[in-house]
Amino acid sequence: VNRLVIADASGLSRNNRLSAADIVSVLTYMQNHKHRELFVRSLSEAGTDGTLRKRMKKLPGKIFAKTGYISGVRTLSGYAVTPNGQWRAFSVLFNGFKGPSKPFNDIHNEICRILTSDPAGTTP
């Protein structure tokens, strides 16, 4: 069974089908790829640039990710850097909701805060 369907390169087609696990697999693969640095630079940095420049302003250098949005869909996938320098690949996809996307952005932001926190409870 083909789970992964990429109908267009823009990511804006409702016919695209992939799971958070599929995205994390790509992110994990890219962590050891020879073009890793170029790939990471293509992502937005929290509180600094791209689609994350106005979000998670307390997490620069800690979140590098790609956002996705079409009506009823909100996604965030990328890397979270822990206090000890470990890079965690993550993907959080919301699909099929009605109404504003801000509550889902807020959930993404909180997940990122948790992913970048110290296991002892210290958070940025």
Contact (CB, 8 A) for 44 and 50: yes
Alpha-carbon span 83 to 89, nearest angstrom: 15
Q: What pLDDT sits at residue 1?
A: 44
16 token code pair:
């695209």
pLDDT band for position 16 (50/70/90)?
confident
The amino acid sitting at 17 is R
Digit-coded pLDDT (tens) for 58-114: 999 999 999 999 899 999 999 999 999 999 999 999 998 999 999 999 999 999 999
Q: What pLDDT sits at residue 112?
A: 97
Q: What pLDDT sits at residue 74?
A: 94
The amino acid sitting at 45 is E
Digit-coded pLDDT (tens) for 28-48: 999 999 999 999 999 999 999
Asked if residue 123 has pLDDT above 60, the reply is no
Based on its alpha-carbon atoms, the radius of gyration of the chain, rounded to whole angstroms, reads 15
Which is more confident, 26 or 5? 26
pTM recorded for the entire structure: 0.88
Q: How far, in Å, are 8, 25, 40, 61, 76 from residue 106 at the CA level?
A: 28, 25, 23, 19, 11
Q: What pLDDT sits at residue 4?
A: 75
Place of tokens 């956002």: 67
